[in-house]
Structure 1
Amino acid sequence: MLFVEKNSLASVMKPITKLLNHNIIRVKINAQDFHFEAADQTEFEWQIFLVDNATDQKNVIQVESEYLSDRHQLELTSYYQFNSDAAGMALFNIRTHQSDQDFMINSVNLTDTDLEITGYNKINGTPIKDQRIILKNRVNDGKLDYPVSQTMFAGMFKVAIPLTDIPKDSVGELFVEYTLNDRQILQRMIISKSLAGQSVEADLPNNRVITIEKRFDNGILVKEFQGASLLQKVAAAGGKAHGVLDVCRMVQDKLNLARMRFLFKSGHSPYENTTIIFESFGGRQVSDSPYAIYQLFKTLYPGIRMVWSIDRSQKAFCKQNQISYVIRRTNKWVRVLEKSQFWISNARFPSWVKKPSYVTYIQTWHGTPLKKLGLDIENVSMPGTTTAKYHRNFVKEANRWDALVSPNDYSTQIFRSAFGFNNQILKIGYPRNDELINTAPDDITAIKNQLGIPLDKKVVMYAPTYRDNQFAEKGKYTFELPFSLDDFHKSFGEDTVLILRMHYLISNALDISDYSDFVYDFSNYPNISDLYLVSDLLITDYSSVFFDYAYLKRPILFYPYDYHLYKEELRGFYLNYERDLPGKIAHNSEELLAEIHHALGHSDMSANQRFMNFYNRFCAINDGLSSLKVVNYVMHQIESGV
């Protein structure tokens, strides 16, 4: 058997040790032989091949597999799994460099009487001894201690903590303590998957409530608190009327959708005068590349009619800035959209929006892809669709675009493969990034004054991606910063401020009221390019914002504190995250603070070869004239009568 590692192309040959009945062969391997120390590799994906030397001609056949193993802990800091890829081929996966402070469990649930936890009690086949579950009280440093005595399956434990033992008004965090090879170990319990499907709330006598929450670092909190009083429950019951209203709105939305479909099927003819429709992120913003193109059109060709497709939330902005608009999903919206000659958008229109033959649809897209898109997603797990259906709809929508803007060759290749896109690509750079190239120092000072940022302090920007596990229940999101603001202030607070750019769902869950003198929340600020321009350092994780920020040749720091767990829940990356990034990677808060200190002392990355290799690959094409090139493309269509 030949094992070939997909990233490094390392190979390992193992002999077939036994031929069993029914054409079954046996190969014994030691998982320790299948990973090695490499500064830029902590994940190993081994493909498996059968090598046949029985004839004069050597045959090499890749091994298929339908087998999916569970996670097997190899060491405290590594584990392995057997898997199969989307094509059904066997994979032997090893992950290394985990934190030795964490212990992965399978489930955590609240029953009527107990807090129940299940997990493994072996590491690389070696039984864990004297295993104990500890619930540490974060309020007063007290702890509850429970020995593990019950097994669920071979190699798995189950423990039940009586809910009546949990103190009132407490916040507890789960830990495990055990002996392995005569070594005493204490680790934080973590769970990588979301808590969806698990029971996370229990009501006790005397109006007590216990809940389970998952922290940003996948740790598990157990909270006990006094439930709502009778008056509060009555007030909440009044809120249920909103539930009835929500149902009414849902019915109304469905009726409105049926009406929209009918209106789009009605015949329309184009306006006599050229009209361009702009839309950004489905109408939720007036921003991004469509807005950059719009602003240049207003300067160069104010005689052309331009209309923004917006949600009602953007009405005030449009009125304040004298922008013509139409509200989405109204009769007028259908009429204006169908009669316009040009659509310019950075996201997809709904599939039921009919594109007339006389419309030129320019898709600017909204970022250089890091995470896989469209056809490149091998297994689609979203509810209400299948992988084949999702792929089919994606290709159908993408090929309504007459032209697609690309920022570099890397993106062009991905757009072709991920979108199944066969029409024209405009490889000109993103218009939204023209501002990063053309803005002068005095303009940056003006932006700082507008935002209220001190001119005498350095600015660190934190812009992480959104994680599904931050969802608690419908309409409620939780968030906890993955580093201490107190520690940040102690280290940098004298001459540095921190600006936050969080996902809009998370921003309202963030309480920074105690840090208002040095932390600024700009999560809802419309123009992220302004935030790039005022920042001396960007910190991110898996968000694609770093592709744009690199235009400024300023330091970028990556803080993927949950990298292995997050990647397993994702659809995969196009880049090798550990090799291809333009900056240092910090894996914990201590490393983060140290790397911030280093990065703030190196404000210009022009002399950094690794950074400039990244810049030349992803940014060099943009000369600050991308918006003009789109405007010229549209004007050429108008003048040639296309």
Structure 2
Amino acid sequence: MELELINVPEPFATLTVTFFERQTQATLTVPVTRMVNQHVVRVAFNPMDLQFEQGGRRDFSWELYLNVAQSTMHGVIQIESEALSDRWQTSQTSSCQLRCDAAGMAILNSHTHQSATEVQVTAINLVDDQLQVVGTRQVNPEPLVQQRLVLKDKSDQHVIVGPVVQDTRQGLVTLSLPLAELPLDTPQVLYIRTTVGEETVERRVVLARSLAGQTTELVTHQHRLVMLDKRFDNALLVTASVAPSLPQRVVNAVGQLRQVVKWVAQLADKVNLTYLSRLFRHGHTPYERPTLIFESFGGRQVSDSPYAIYRLFTRLYPEFNCVWSINRSQRHFCRQHDIPYVIRRTTRWVRLLGKASFWISNARFPLWIKKPDYLTYIQTWHGTPLKKLGLDIEKVTMPGTTTARYHANFVKEANRWDALISPNDYSTQVFRTAFGFNNQILKVGYPRNDALVNSTPAEITALKRKLGIPLDKRVVLYAPTYRDNQFAEKGKYTFDLPFSLAEFQQRFGKDTVLILRMHYLIANTLDIRGYEGVVFDFSRHPNISELYLVSDLLITDYSSVFFDYAYLKRPILFYPYDYQVYKDELRGFYLNYETELPGEIAHDESQLLSLISQKLATPDMSHDARFMAFYRRFCAIDDGQSSWKVVAYILQQIENHG
């Protein structure tokens, strides 16, 4: 590793570099081994020294410090970095990667216990009737030789092995495989066969990043349409089909015409937004009668903490004017429940927002919406954070934005909030730093969780009947998050189940049912045909608290749902099948995922199914010391009165403003 010395005091007698591990506070100090020139030095270290066994830890984050020793003084300087290295393998199951944190300081991430059956690549493209993969050229210290690409169908019966073709440039290696022999309409999983030393290994290819920017479709000279796709576990699929005929191209042209219509609609929407933003700039005078506007997840639902506040507020004070801001898809729900509403992005919506006394939302309003000075904006947010938020996200991979723009917009929006609801001290601290938030924080707990504290067994039985869930069966709830690196288009993400429904049905179907609750950003609908009565897809059910109440076990990955579910003191399982990819390539976590969670971690499908059996046998976690330590830290505000505390705050604001 080379270091450029900038503003380092000279002369110095000795220079050393100290590696400091953030979580364990372990240190390793190595000498500077060579002066390249007056301002550049070189440091040699063994990456394997940055990995050790401690409490089952798999990952380590090392800060770097330069130790300067002079004749009369000693100094320590933290090393800055703008570099982002590619991941390099230190063994078949461990790797390192140099990056920088949000403050621009160098971080060396060291990973252990990686799957020996997978290999990450840098890029993949379909070019010139070939599949081309770019990846690493060595596993330290052995060079990789005789590498070749291998395609297998799901049964491993049909195998295509590419020739040994390696183009080594810029520290990377490019592998190629001709596409002429691809079978039709049979998805093929991609592997790399490699010789390391005297051993030949075959590992499944995974791509951490999205496929955006890479060539994923190609019509070959044999008139075949070849397509690349990513599976739920980041494995790569290659599928060939007969290229469209003339009639099919006509059908496709109709589809393209629909796309043109969609583009025209999007253009009209932009024109409408320009018009609406001008209406906001004109300014409004507030209604004499206090008016409260509620919104949940950008109008996609009538749910969550805003809904809990609304229900209590309108029951106690029905003479105030309360209106929901919704998308058109929610009109039926509002009419069915006699809820006053306004459709977003209409002139009436602008008028109501501009003349209201309060905005109460669990997500962000667009920045082009002007917030009046006389209005109080209450932000309920939507979960205790596990994943990094706002300014703490070092690399934003979401489509349609950049890291700098995302950070700036987040801070600008957050400081329009007059009050932000927090469920615990941990969240309060995160919100202050991640949002750059300087206004009032109401540490009263999430109103949506009142139902978890106050519900009775009779009410839970009634909920099961309403949802159509058998009363004599145990209920497993699967509620994963979306992945920032699996977006289909701006604002939409794809997801595939990472375990077999058939296997679940075979092992548990007699006395257990499975509820699926996908994140609201997931674009695709899951296919559960053939599993009726055993698997229920409640992804569009607006009130996830009801799903918590009817379930006996929660399975999740990186979603913050487990913080709320812990209020029930029921078992929780974690299934992070793509842990290494998600942790480093996407957002990262605030908690130590391996040591601070209130449940066990399953790393593969077999382990998951075994743990489901164990946890269903222990429905009450109140005697589990580890679980209860988590409960005391994150669920201490459990009096079931959070909604009332927010209502009392609103009433106080109304009285103060006369």
Q: TM-score range by the shorter chain?
A: over 0.9
The structural deviation recorded for 1:229 is: 4.0
Matched residue SS, 1:595: helix
Give the counterpart of 1:594 among 610, 628, 652.
610
Matched residue SS, 2:547: helix
Pair 1:63 & 2:79 matched:
yes
Matched residue SS, 1:15: strand
The structural deviation recorded for 1:107 is: 2.1
CA contact (8 A) 1:464 1:501 kept: yes
Query: Partner of 1:323 in structure 2?
Result: 339
Give the counterpart of 2:167 among 127, 144, 151.
151
The structural deviation recorded for 1:10 is: 0.3
Matched residue SS, 2:256: helix
Query: Partner of 2:620 in structure 1?
Result: 604
Q: For residues 388 and 32 of structure 1, do their structure 2 counterparts lie closer, same or farther at Cα, with a shift above 3 Å needed?
A: closer
Query: Partner of 2:9 in structure 1?
Result: none
Q: For residues 228 and 514 of structure 1, do their structure 2 counterparts lie closer, same or farther at Cα, with a shift above 3 Å needed?
A: farther
Letter in 1 for 2:212: A
Q: For residues 510 and 267 of structure 1, do their structure 2 counterparts lie closer, same or farther at Cα, with a shift above 3 Å needed?
A: closer
Query: Partner of 1:85 in structure 2?
Result: 101
The structural deviation recorded for 1:606 is: 0.5
CA contact (8 A) 1:478 1:509 kept: no
Q: For residues 471 and 26 of structure 1, do their structure 2 counterparts lie closer, same or farther at Cα, with a shift above 3 Å needed?
A: closer
Moved more, 505-514 or 183-192: 505-514
Q: Distance in 1 between matches of 2:490 and 2:274?
A: 26
Q: For residues 384 and 242 of structure 1, do their structure 2 counterparts lie closer, same or farther at Cα, with a shift above 3 Å needed?
A: closer
Sequence identity (%): 57
Give the counterpart of 2:208 among 180, 184, 192.
192
CA contact (8 A) 1:122 1:155 kept: no
Give the counterpart of 2:59 among 38, 43, 57.
43
Q: For residues 271 and 11 of structure 1, do their structure 2 counterparts lie closer, same or farther at Cα, with a shift above 3 Å needed?
A: same
Query: Partner of 1:291 in structure 2?
Result: 307
Query: Partner of 1:212 in structure 2?
Result: 228
Q: Distance in 1 between matches of 2:264 and 2:118?
A: 47
Q: Distance in 2 between matches of 1:389 and 1:175?
A: 38
CA contact (8 A) 1:466 1:503 kept: yes
Matched residue SS, 2:371: coil
Q: For residues 578 and 500 of structure 1, do their structure 2 counterparts lie closer, same or farther at Cα, with a shift above 3 Å needed?
A: same
Pair 1:539 & 2:555 matched:
yes
Letter in 1 for 2:486: Q
Query: Partner of 1:401 in structure 2?
Result: 417
The structural deviation recorded for 1:476 is: 8.6
**CA deviation digits over 1:340-392, x for unaligned, max 9?**
22221111222222222222221111111112222333444556655554434
TM-score w.r.t. length of structure 2: 0.93
Q: For residues 337 and 91 of structure 1, do their structure 2 counterparts lie closer, same or farther at Cα, with a shift above 3 Å needed?
A: closer
Letter in 2 for 1:536: D
Q: Distance in 1 between matches of 2:165 and 2:261?
A: 51
Pair 1:116 & 2:149 matched:
no
Query: Partner of 1:447 in structure 2?
Result: 463
CA contact (8 A) 2:149 2:176 kept: no
Q: Distance in 1 between matches of 2:489 and 2:84?
A: 31
Q: For residues 67 and 271 of structure 1, do their structure 2 counterparts lie closer, same or farther at Cα, with a shift above 3 Å needed?
A: closer
1:202-281 paired onto structure 2 within 5 Å: 202-204=218-220, 207-281=223-297
Q: Distance in 2 between matches of 1:45 and 1:451?
A: 45
Letter in 1 for 2:434: A
The structural deviation recorded for 1:469 is: 4.0
Query: Partner of 1:300 in structure 2?
Result: 316
CA contact (8 A) 1:139 1:170 kept: no
Moved more, 616-625 or 348-357: 348-357
The structural deviation recorded for 1:126 is: 0.5
1:182-581 paired onto structure 2 within 5 Å: 182-204=198-220, 207-380=223-396, 387-472=403-488, 478-504=494-520, 506=522, 508-581=524-597
Q: Which runs of 5+ in 1 are unaligned?
A: none
Moved more, 231-240 or 512-521: 231-240
Give the counterpart of 1:582 among 584, 598, 616.
598
Letter in 2 for 1:199: T
Q: Distance in 1 between matches of 2:377 and 2:162?
A: 63
The structural deviation recorded for 1:488 is: 1.6
CA contact (8 A) 1:35 1:44 kept: yes
Q: Which runs of 5+ in 2 are unaligned?
A: 1-16
Q: Distance in 2 between matches of 1:518 and 1:410?
A: 38
Letter in 1 for 2:594: E
The structural deviation recorded for 1:170 is: 2.2
Moved more, 134-143 or 550-559: 134-143
Letter in 1 for 2:453: I
Give the counterpart of 2:635 among 614, 619, 628.
619
1:122-133 paired onto structure 2 within 5 Å: 122-133=138-149
Q: Distance in 2 between matches of 1:152 and 1:82?
A: 22
Query: Partner of 1:167 in structure 2?
Result: 183
Moved more, 154-163 or 289-298: 154-163
Q: Distance in 1 between matches of 2:471 and 2:571?
A: 19
Q: For residues 267 and 166 of structure 1, do their structure 2 counterparts lie closer, same or farther at Cα, with a shift above 3 Å needed?
A: closer
Q: Distance in 2 between matches of 1:168 and 1:637?
A: 67
Q: Distance in 2 between matches of 1:17 and 1:334?
A: 66
The structural deviation recorded for 1:640 is: 3.5
Letter in 2 for 1:256: N
Moved more, 521-530 or 267-276: 267-276
Letter in 2 for 1:97: H
Q: For residues 475 and 115 of structure 1, do their structure 2 counterparts lie closer, same or farther at Cα, with a shift above 3 Å needed?
A: farther
CA contact (8 A) 1:213 1:220 kept: yes
CA contact (8 A) 2:399 2:487 kept: no
Matched residue SS, 2:169: coil
CA contact (8 A) 1:106 1:118 kept: yes
Query: Partner of 2:14 in structure 1?
Result: none
Q: For residues 107 and 380 of structure 1, do their structure 2 counterparts lie closer, same or farther at Cα, with a shift above 3 Å needed?
A: closer
Matched residue SS, 1:435: helix
Q: For residues 80 and 179 of structure 1, do their structure 2 counterparts lie closer, same or farther at Cα, with a shift above 3 Å needed?
A: same
The structural deviation recorded for 1:303 is: 1.6
**CA deviation digits over 1:34-80, x for unaligned, max 9?**
11012342112222222233324322222333444322111111011
Q: For residues 23 and 240 of structure 1, do their structure 2 counterparts lie closer, same or farther at Cα, with a shift above 3 Å needed?
A: closer
**CA deviation digits over 1:116-165, x for unaligned, max 9?**
22223421020234433221123671111224242322764333222111
Letter in 1 for 2:252: A
Q: Distance in 1 between matches of 2:48 and 2:155?
A: 42
Letter in 2 for 1:94: S
Q: Distance in 2 between matches of 1:14 and 1:341?
A: 61
Letter in 2 for 1:336: L
CA contact (8 A) 2:153 2:186 kept: yes
CA contact (8 A) 1:430 1:622 kept: no
Pair 1:180 & 2:196 matched:
yes
| Segments ≥4 residues shifted beyond 4 Å | 379-389, 472-478
The structural deviation recorded for 1:240 is: 2.8
CA contact (8 A) 2:162 2:178 kept: no
Moved more, 265-274 or 375-384: 375-384
**CA deviation digits over 1:267-300, x for unaligned, max 9?**
4222222221111111111111111111111211
Moved more, 457-466 or 159-168: 159-168
Letter in 1 for 2:549: L
Q: Distance in 2 between matches of 1:168 and 1:392?
A: 48
Moved more, 508-517 or 275-284: 508-517
Q: For residues 358 and 158 of structure 1, do their structure 2 counterparts lie closer, same or farther at Cα, with a shift above 3 Å needed?
A: closer
